[in-house]
Structure 1
Amino acid sequence: MGEVRKLQKKLRQIENLEIKVSLTPEERFKISTKAELRSRLAELQLQLSGPQQTLGIVGDGKKEKMKRQVEDAPGALPSQTPPASKILKGEEESKAQATPAPTARQRETGGGAEIGRQQERTELAKVSDHLRDVSGGCPESDKEQQLRQEEAEFTSLKASWEKAKFRLRLLEGHNDIVTCVVAVDNLVVSGSRDTTVKVWHVPTATEHKNLGGHTGGVTCLSAPPPEYCKRLAWSLSLSDKERFILSGSADCYVKIWALSIGQCVKSIYTFNAVTALCFVPEEDGYIVTGSDGGKVQAWSWHTFEHCQSINAHQEAVTSIQSQGPLVFSGSAEGGVSVWENQCSDRDPLRLLHHWSGQVTGCRGGPGGRLTLSPRGDRVFLAYGQAWLKILHWRTGTTSRLTNHSSITGVTDCVHQTGGLLIGSCYDLANGASTLNLFSLPQCRYLASLTWPDAPRILCFAAWTTGSGDHRWVSGGRDLIVWEQLPSSGKQRGDVTVKRDSQLDSCFLESEEDTEDDEETDGTHTHTHTHTHTAISQFFRSSFTDSCLMTNRGIADYTIVLILDDAC
């Protein structure tokens, strides 16, 4: 395994070089050795794959066991931490909402799905009978009924995604990799290492505008909400329907573009290479930028004046996202900071929490690339490994979700749309690229999407049409628009929908139950069946209800489920 890990590390370094904003001749030479390293790694994998070891399972040869202990409900924000009064509604409300199917036309499920639902109902019924025996024959609780309903909804959702069809359309025009994408109405806006920002008309898949003006690679984009665009349009004597786009670049500028006229209406010089930015729609609005030196800065949308500058991270800020009044920043060394917008003209950002790479487990180091996507009390993190990390930003606890069944898989970006969590995955060994879909808020695996010669996906955006169909755009070596097709139609889709059996058997695991990331340098994949997953989740929830009904605390009990290879 020693040489395998060395090759993995070299390939990962090369892949990180390929997506840098600029390359030196020495770096270009290193990139030219990728094919040779990939071939050698494939040979070693064939030698290592056998009865004693399989790809996607990392261990020390001992019998794999999994222990689970009932966790206390997440506590409130510590008293010393100021509350974020306007934060999005909590996870409890999210769990109460049914996860929508891809489209209304895809809600019908076939006979095979119905058989699967019947099997899972039978399995859960057995557990329910056992719980009633233990609790003295208590009737089924509302929680148990809710779990049954959620399981049925998930089974239906999974079946609908197994029949999903997409048409792919290539948007040609950039001369280098696409680093960032956003969607605005029927337009897609992309930024590239070739220094340009391009606007595309989605219905016709044609280039609408070419916005040239940056002198360095474009690294990030953001689209202010329409109400904030109206204010700026009024001050510039433009139509109140004008939409604006923010672009950040290695040339140290943030540019604001008016899409209808295709012109830059404002430039902000930041004194640092801009590596991430977002728009914060609070009060008069703020632009928050991150630099290659780890600095986070705030700029007024009303006056475009500099409001605040903070040395927030040790390495480059690679991702910034807003959620209500909160701003989340992630850096190359794996650290994550959570800020609250105080809606003041000076120093609008107040630090709520900072979690280092040692806490998040995202110890990428210089040249690393962390992307994040917040949801309530959780932040989903992608940082170039075979899994997604989930940080509970209030407490600093983490868990992880397997996103690739191979030890050579890497995750580049993570995105949420509706009730879906979408993670890109790329195999360093063979160059295969897929998108994995998980249901929210439970983070249960639904399906994987791929197509022949799929390129590595570095950025992603999503929206839905008026009829509820999905429209996506992915960027990297290629810029591709995804158009969802009716599942009942005769038109054949360009995407292959498949299921990874190893991902299908995985579920969220806390960091206490996993090995250290740097030691494994691969995927810690559970080989237990989906049945065991459903039973363990059902048993936990039902046991919690029993504790509440008997006025005894969960802390009084310890449940240990041991599932070994014999299962």
Structure 2
Amino acid sequence: MGEVRKLQKKLRQIENLELKVSLTPEEAVKVSKKAELRSRLAELLLQLSGPQQTQYIVGEEGDKMKRQVESRTEHHTDHTPAVKLARKDHQETEDKTKSGAEQEIKERETGIQSQKLPDPDAEFSSLKALWEKAKFRLRTLKGHSDIITCVAAVDNLVISGSRDTTVKVWHVPTATEQRNLGGHSGGVTCLSTPPAEYCRKLASALHLSEKERFIISGSTDCCVRIWTLSSGQCVKSIYTFNAVTSLCVIAEWEGYIVTGSDAGKLQVWDWLSQENRQSVNVHLDAVTTLQSHGPLVFSASTDGSVCVWEVYDGAAEPLKQIQHWGSEVTGCSRIDDVTGKLRLSARGDHIFLANGRSSIRVLNWRTGTMRRLTNHSSTAGVTDCVNQIPGLLVASCFDLTSGGNTLNLFSLPECRYLVSLTSSDLSRILCFAAWLTPSGGHRWVTGGRDLTVWEQLPGNGKKRGDVNAKRDSRLDGLLAESDGDSQEESDEDDDDDHDDDEDSTITDAEEVSGSSWLRCVLQ
């Protein structure tokens, strides 16, 4: 394939190597070439973008050309022949002879419709303007010695799990480590914070304060541990016989803990007794995400499949599968090896999927309809995680070419692009959690190489934020229909299988012009 795709593939491999615990001498040599490869890739993309600029102009240049076209049109109408002007005057005279009653009725109907139907574009413009002015303060929480794999939040506390085998509790207002929960012998892969009402049930059974909150952690050591948030004591431990790669709490009826393993198995555990209620092998590879919403549970796997389950309380097996969509539907057959995870965020009928590509997959889990949401302006972008806040979809984006990191914000339910938030101090974002402060401000936490707390500053304050809000007009396209992998992703997959194939008929220029953001602009 083209040199651009080969360079992108090498950079993906290097990013994967940098996440390893230790490197061989050969791997260290590959990593040392990262800056050189990025420079070469940036140079090629700049050269290839030249011929396309006159065809696909966006942003300020596009507005400039639009104004030029409008001015030419106005100039042309100034020279309209007299005959046409006379006909126009005659038509206007006929229009004025219409019944006054008809005009009045029409005006009333128009007025009623305008009152009933709010302007969605006006609401979106207002929301976009608000986020363009957003200011955040960033604070890095130092204490982990390896990659942060999962994060959660309870009130003013942040909980983080790391590959260094520890779970840490942080006090956000003071940015200090409050507790270090050591007990796992393998890397921590997942966290969950049960709702307060279920914590009260367990606290009562354990003769603890009814205000006690708990943290649940899963690890590659095959254990699930339940910790008290106040003291950091491990009150329960469940041995699953499989490396735990994901978990969630079903906050319905008596409550259940659902775990996913590295071999594709789902297991259901009773919240109070921790007894195993169900085991089912459904995925062909590691279950990388589990999420519950009411009586529904959503699971996703490295094999690219997504399952939807319904919970039946009191049944011998609480989970009943109601939908299964394989990689041929989700288009996630090739999970990027950098993170090795298929992340999902579900709400209503739609599931947002991130699988290390430049676009986000949007699956209607009831019908199997798949669409794509562009999350990067080229194929050099990597989407590691997605998350939903009321009214907002937040997606991470890592640029292989520059090493830059951003959080892209989209309005929900329309999935319209709002703004990108970035900072030069950001490291790659592999996990994300969000909550609102009592004053209504946003507070987020991101994890990867660094654990970073994002705290929104008042809009009328004089403090300068640590985050830059910017817009990339190339992300303004709406959702695109998708029956599988997009063209640029298919090309990239082909390149992975035929890295040494020099006889490809696809040129680099064709790759750039065929990228997803260009198709969105044309639509």
TM-score (norm. length: structure 2): 0.81
Deviation at 1:237, TM superposition (A): 1.5
| Distance in 2 between residues matched to 1:189 and 1:360, nearest whole Å | 31
- Aligned pairs for 1:497-508 (under 5 A) are 497-503=469-475, 505-508=476-479
Structure 1 gaps, min length 5: 55-62, 65-136, 530-562
Among residues 404, 410, 423, which one is paired with 2:395 in the alignment?
423
Distance 1:527 1:340, change over 3 A: closer
User: How far does residue 182 in structure 1 lie from its aligned partner after superposition?
Assistant: 0.3
1:406: how far off?
2.3
Write the distance in 2 (CA, Å) between the matches of 1:250 and 1:456. 23
Which residue is 2:308 aligned to? 338
Q: Retained in 1: the 8 A contact 2:336–2:355?
A: no
For residue 456 of structure 1, what is the amino acid of its counterpart?
Answer: R
Query: What amino acid maps onto 2:409 in structure 1?
Result: L
Change (3 A) 1:261 1:150: same
The amino acid across from 1:287 in the alignment is I
Matches within 5 A, 1:92-241: 140=110, 148-241=118-211
Alpha-carbon offset, residue 19 of structure 1: 4.4
Q: What is the alpha-carbon root mean square deviation over aligned residues?
A: 2.5
Write the letter of the residue equivalent to 2:38: R
SS of aligned partner of 1:309: strand
The answer to whether the 8 Å contact 1:178/1:476 transfers is yes
1:413 has 2:385 as partner: yes
The reply on whether 1:298 has 2:268 as its aligned counterpart is yes
- Whichever of the two has the greater Rg, that structure is 2
- Alpha carbons of 1:299 and 1:52: their partners in 2 closer, same or farther (altered >3 Å)? same
- Partners of 1:269 and 1:142 lie apart in 2 by 64
Cα deviation digits, residues 263-312 of structure 1 (max 9, x gap): 11111111111111111111111111111111111111121011111111
Task: Return the offset for 1:142.
Answer: 7.7
In the alignment, structure 1 residue 482 sits paired with structure 2 residue 451:
no
1:332–1:366 CA contact under 8 A, matched in 2: no
Deviation, 1:6, is 2.4
| Equivalent position of 2:343 in the other structure | 371
Could you tell me which residue of structure 1 aligns to residue 490 of structure 2?
A: 519
In 2: Cα distance, 1:146 partner to 1:185 partner: 39
Quick one: structure 1 residues 42 and 201, their matched pair in 2 at CA, closer, same or farther if it must change by over 3 Å? same
1:18–1:330 distance in 2 versus 1, CA, 3 Å: farther
Cross-structure match for 1:457: 429
| Higher RCO (CA 8 Å, separation ≥ 6 residues) | 1
Change (3 A) 1:528 1:374: closer
Letter in 2 for 1:421: L
Corresponding residue to 1:471 among 436, 443, 465? 443
Question: Percent identity over the alignment?
Answer: 63
Going from structure 1 to structure 2, the CA distance change for 1:213 and 1:474 (only over 3 Å counts) comes to same
C-alpha distance after superposition, 1:387-427 (max 9, x if no partner): 11100000111111111112200100000111111000000
Q: How many angstroms apart in 1 are the aligned matches of 2:520 and 2:361?
A: 21
Report the CA distance between 1:5 and its aligned residue. Answer: 1.6
Gaps of 5+ in 2: 57-105, 493-510
What do the CA deviations read for 1:469-527 (whole angstroms, capped 9, x no partner)? 11111111111111111111111111101011111x31111115984463244840147
CA contact (8 A) 1:17 1:27 kept: no
Shift in CA distance, 372/27, structure 1 to aligned 2, threshold 3 Å: farther
* Residue 50 (structure 1) aligns with: 50
Q: Which residue of 1 aligns with 2:92?
A: none
Letter in 2 for 1:388: I
SS, match of residue 152 in structure 1: helix
Distance 1:516 1:355, change over 3 A: farther
Partners of 1:424 and 1:356 lie apart in 2 by: 24
- The residue number in structure 1 matching 2:252 is 282
- C-alpha distance in 2, partners of 1:350/1:14? 41
1:381 to 353, 360, 364: 353
* 8 Å contact kept, 1:254–1:274: yes
Count of residues in Structure 1 that have an aligned counterpart in Structure 2 = 449
Please give the alpha-carbon distance, in whole angstroms, between the structure 1 residues aligned to 2:485 and 2:164.
Answer: 41
Q: Determine helix, strand or coil for the equivalent of 1:525.
A: helix
Partner SS state of residue 384, structure 2:
coil
Contact persistence 2:330–2:484 (CA under 8 A): no
Partner amino acid, structure 2, of 1:455: S
1:133 corresponding residue in structure 2: none
User: Relative to 1, partners in 2 of residues 1:394 and 1:492: Cα closer, same or farther, differing over 3 Å?
Assistant: same
CA change 1:176–1:262 in 2 (3 A) is same
Kindly indicate whether the alpha-carbon contact (under 8 Å) linking 2:38 and 2:400 is maintained by their aligned counterparts in 1.
yes
What residue in structure 2 maps to residue 269 of structure 1?
239
Instruction: Indicate how the Cα distance of structure 1 residues 143 and 445 shifts in structure 2: closer, same or farther if over 3 A, else same.
Output: farther
- Would the aligned equivalents of 2:194 and 2:215 in 1 still touch at CA under 8 Å? yes
For residues 187-225 of structure 1, give each alpha carbon's deviation from its aligned partner in whole angstroms, at most 9, with x where no partner exists.
Answer: 000001111100000111100000011111111100110
